[in-house]
Structure 1
Amino acid sequence: MEANGSPARNTATVVLGAQWGDEGKGKIVDLLASEMDLVCRCQGGNNAGHTVVVDGVEYDFHILPSGIVHPHCVAVIGNGVVIHLPQMFEEIAKNEAKGLTHWRDNLKISSRAHLVFDMHQEVDGLHEKERESETSCGKKSLGTTKKGIGPTYSSKATRNGLRVCDLLGDFSYFVERYRSLVALHKRMFPALEVDVEAELARYAEFAARLRPLVVDSVSYVSGALAEGKRVLVEGANAVMLDIDFGTYPFVTSSNCSAGGVCTGLGLPPRSIGHVYGVAKAYTTRVGVGPFPTEQLNEIGELLQERGAEFGVTTGRKRRCGWLDCAQLRHSNMVNGYSALAVTKLDILDSLAEVKMGAHYLLDGRRLDHYPANSAELATVEVEYITLAGWCTSTEHVRAFADLPDNAQLYIRTLERLVGVPVKWIGVGKCRESIIGLM
């Protein structure tokens, strides 16, 4: 019983990216989803990318919750997600060809989720071109995925957007709103070309395919918790890309932190239980923006090559650097992690020495906070701790005590600097390549 005498509530478990994304959240979600009834996405769109390897088959997910690989799991796309239907159905088809045949029974889509249209993607690219042409004024590209995510959230914020429920309701209303949305974007970008009639015909077909999958996700997820079902929330992107707490403006357009779980699924704060952060044993970033521990040298090249650091969604090469504990402390402050999962420890196996950024210095003084201003962040100096490497493979290790002593010290130093215990360590791509600590 709770303090007020009412029955204790079941709570949702949350998995979030603790850095700039690409941390290997899919592996931890896959691990936890084996014991869950629902796996939910709460924000972002198909600008995210999660990879799950099952029995040697590699599944790539961009809009689908990666927990859908488990036949017993219901996968919920929440109201905070923005959905490009053509690419969602394409993603379903690709994974179905790999053996994911149970999705028809397991996939649930929120009636309140907003729709990404092709014109949003076109506008995304046009905005980037505008920024690139204004470099003389100090502006530059943000390095977006050009998936239309920002323009769709913009339509949502200005109350011009269209939702799944609009598509499945009175189609004449959808037609009217869609024409108005096109006209609005053409006023901003006169060269924008949209075949309105063809798009409307296409979305009439999508409506029929979509209808069996749509639910009121707020009551659906809340009802599942009330029934005692186990719910996992799978964050997309990562906290350092959060529009409020990340390295603005080099961020995504949604709240990738714990607060996005409440707004993106309609869950009250007391329904959130454990929050797990996922971090690589080093740091990567796709696109532009400040990166204090980046290594533009042979170390960065080694991490990129050994870690196969290419974006799942864009294929872009990831920038690489040492682990940034100052960043992780900020990430923890925002999300309140119950524990961390540290992935890709094996990528460091060949290094004679390893470093981690312990603190930031600005004008010679140690900072006690993470800079809000990206220009200021770009000027900080990093105070490093240097540790001896272990120079032996960890790929087949399955117990913490069996890790080399120096690898154990690396993890314990991370825990001390960040102030959060480590619960899992990833040492390879496969499901089995993980060490449990707690």
Structure 2
Amino acid sequence: MNKNIAILGTQWGDEGKGKIVDCLTKDAAYVVRCQGGHNAGHTLVVNGEKIILHLIPSGLLHENVIGVIANGVVISPSALIEEIKMLEKHKIFIKNRLYISNSAPLILKYHIKMDIAREKKLGFHAIGTTGRGIGPAYEDKIARRALRVSDLKDEKRLSERLEKIVDYYNHQLVSFYKQKPVDYKKILKDLLPSIDLIQDMIQDTTHILHTAIKDNKKIVFEGAQGSFLDIDHGTYPYVTSSNTTIGGICSGTGVGPKHLHCIIGITKAYSTRVGNGPFPTELFNNIDEHFSKKGNEFGSTTGRKRRTGWLDAVSLCRAVKLNSVSSLCVTKLDVLDGLKEIKICTSYKDVSTSEKILTVNTINHWKNIKPIYETYPGWNKKTLGIKTFENLPCEAKNYLKRIESITKVPVDIISTGPERSDIIFLNNF
């Protein structure tokens, strides 16, 4: 029996999921994006060439794999077409092997305008969104007014519904946010060419996936963002608008948990975060500069500099529980090369009470948190490009073993560089 694999981020996103999805789908039949939108950015390096994907599942770079953008994803048709054309320039053709859920909500121009207007209005208290319209699109879904991919097949109905929704948004944009209105006729005109290009891709993807399961086909489920950007379990309100934890895979695809045989949690060897919100281990010194420069810590979607810090094992343990993680993958181990010492946050201290705590849930608690660290010796040898665990420096092995002992989950994959081949597998997936 083929094992279906779920791949999830255990931090605040940007853990390097794209490369791991790419590596694990080479012998899969399907790769599935489950939630999020083009606010996600998965960077792949293939033969020295960098390819950044936002909507299209990372595993589609393998010619034998069929891609699915499932119902939990919010889709910008223009961004999707742009991405397909970008891949074609790289001689990667996916039109005949990509399916799009007919139930996926659309992101249109008014969502983007609303997203940007809100962030501007919030000023210093802004969430730090990507400005791609993700939040407003998910709001439409929950409010049951969303236009969905299936609506693209009926131009008359699409036009009627679009006009009503644009009226709803223009009232807010003009009256409250003092912005210019959007023109529904222009939105419709811009949308129509996209329909012709993706028409044949629109399918009942839940049916497709259950047929694949019945036929014992291997499926890789690709999560976007990270566990602590989850709308329910993240550092609220500094979160995204979807469920980035394991439940988002089930609700975002229509595939139940019994069909997920292996859940891989991806964590960097240190921590990063883009945008505002709590970040207990954040650094503001030469180590931050080291992580930023050596790890190229700039958002693949926004280009923003990522905040960096030591590995937060308190949050990592919580992510393991939230997602029922069965295997860990540690990425960017090579970024730690050359550091004299390395730290892991193993608990927090509440400075208002001096109490030692092992979990935090509300935004008010985060304000009083200080990390408590364990310190380990670094290593002088390079881990970059090493392909076997035995060849890693002893200090690097001990660091990885300590992560295992804290989380009680095996480290089964280690990424030692950006290339596809810079990887160590300790388990046959």
Q: TM-score, normalised by structure 1?
A: 0.94
Alignment partner of 1:87 is 2:68: no
Q: Once structures 1 and 2 are overlaid, which stretch shifts more, 209-218 or 311-320?
A: 209-218
Residues 250-273 of structure 1: per-residue CA shift (max 9 Å, x gap): 000000110001100001121111
Q: Residue in 2 aligned with 1:124?
A: 115
Residues 37-67 of structure 1: per-residue CA shift (max 9 Å, x gap): 0000010000000011122222110010011
Give the match's secondary structure for 2:68. strand
% identical equivalent positions:
40
Residues 102-124 of structure 1: per-residue CA shift (max 9 Å, x gap): x0111110000000001101110
**Is this contact kept in 1: 2:53–2:83, CA < 8 A?**
yes
Q: Residue in 1 aligned with 2:410?
A: 421
Give the match's secondary structure for 1:126. helix
Q: Residue in 1 aligned with 2:147?
A: 162
Equivalent residue runs for 1:198-209 within 5 Å: 198-209=186-197
State which of 371, 381, 385 in structure 2 corresponds to 1:382: 371
| Structure 1: distance between partners of 2:97 and 2:239 | 31
**Is this contact kept in 1: 2:19–2:58, CA < 8 A?**
no
Aligned-pair CA distance for 1:367: 1.6
Aligned-pair CA distance for 1:26: 0.9
**Is this contact kept in 2: 1:11–1:270, CA < 8 A?**
no
State which of 232, 240, 248 in structure 1 corresponds to 2:220: 232
- Residue type of the partner of 1:403? L
| Structure 1: distance between partners of 2:189 and 2:268 | 45
Aligned-pair CA distance for 1:375: 3.0
Q: Residue in 2 aligned with 1:189?
A: 173
Q: Residue in 2 aligned with 1:34?
A: 26
| Structure 2: distance between partners of 1:124 and 1:329 | 33
Aligned-pair CA distance for 1:11: 5.6
| Structure 2: distance between partners of 1:379 and 1:303 | 26
Q: Residue in 2 aligned with 1:435?
A: 424
Q: Residue in 2 aligned with 1:6?
A: none
Aligned-pair CA distance for 1:364: 2.0
State which of 378, 381, 388 in structure 2 corresponds to 1:392: 381
**Is this contact kept in 1: 2:107–2:133, CA < 8 A?**
yes
Aligned-pair CA distance for 1:402: 1.1
**Is this contact kept in 2: 1:42–1:260, CA < 8 A?**
yes
| Structure 1: distance between partners of 2:192 and 2:18 | 33
**Is this contact kept in 2: 1:16–1:277, CA < 8 A?**
yes
Residues 1:10 and 1:294: Cα distance change in structure 2 (over 3 Å): same
- Residue type of the partner of 2:105? H
| Structure 2: distance between partners of 1:336 and 1:158 | 30
**Is this contact kept in 1: 2:108–2:187, CA < 8 A?**
no
Structure 1 unmatched runs, 5+: 1-8
Q: Residue in 2 aligned with 1:365?
A: 355
| Structure 1: distance between partners of 2:2 and 2:267 | 27
| Structure 1: distance between partners of 2:142 and 2:128 | 22
Q: Residue in 2 aligned with 1:307?
A: 295
Aligned-pair CA distance for 1:192: 3.6
**Is this contact kept in 2: 1:295–1:320, CA < 8 A?**
yes
Give the match's secondary structure for 2:261. strand
| Structure 2: distance between partners of 1:16 and 1:192 | 39
- Residue type of the partner of 2:223? G
| Structure 2: distance between partners of 1:128 and 1:415 | 39
| Structure 1: distance between partners of 2:120 and 2:368 | 27
Alignment partner of 1:50 is 2:42: yes
Residues 376-398 of structure 1: per-residue CA shift (max 9 Å, x gap): 11321111000000122111321
| Structure 2: distance between partners of 1:247 and 1:222 | 34
Structure 2 unmatched runs, 5+: none
CA RMSD of aligned residues (A): 1.2
**Is this contact kept in 1: 2:314–2:358, CA < 8 A?**
no
Give the match's secondary structure for 1:276. strand
Give the match's secondary structure for 2:196. helix
**Is this contact kept in 1: 2:270–2:311, CA < 8 A?**
yes
**Is this contact kept in 2: 1:11–1:225, CA < 8 A?**
no
Q: Residue in 2 aligned with 1:106?
A: 97
- Residue type of the partner of 1:94? M
**Is this contact kept in 2: 1:349–1:391, CA < 8 A?**
yes
| Structure 1: distance between partners of 2:3 and 2:379 | 40
Residues 110-159 of structure 1: per-residue CA shift (max 9 Å, x gap): 00000000110111000101111xx5xxxx00000000000000011111
**Is this contact kept in 2: 1:54–1:431, CA < 8 A?**
yes
- Residue type of the partner of 1:366? K
Residues 1:11 and 1:346: Cα distance change in structure 2 (over 3 Å): closer
Alignment partner of 1:328 is 2:316: yes
- Residue type of the partner of 1:86? S
Alignment partner of 1:150 is 2:118: no
Aligned-pair CA distance for 1:193: 2.2
Equivalent residue runs for 1:401-420 within 5 Å: 401-420=390-409
**Is this contact kept in 2: 1:57–1:98, CA < 8 A?**
no
Equivalent residue runs for 1:283-322 within 5 Å: 283-322=271-310
- Residue type of the partner of 2:142? A
Aligned-pair CA distance for 1:435: 1.3
- Residue type of the partner of 1:43? Q
**Is this contact kept in 1: 2:81–2:194, CA < 8 A?**
no
Aligned-pair CA distance for 1:72: 0.4
Aligned-pair CA distance for 1:10: 6.3
Q: Residue in 2 aligned with 1:249?
A: 237
**Is this contact kept in 1: 2:343–2:374, CA < 8 A?**
yes
Number of paired residues? 421
Q: TM-score, normalised by structure 2?
A: 0.96
Equivalent residue runs for 1:61-72 within 5 Å: 61-72=53-64
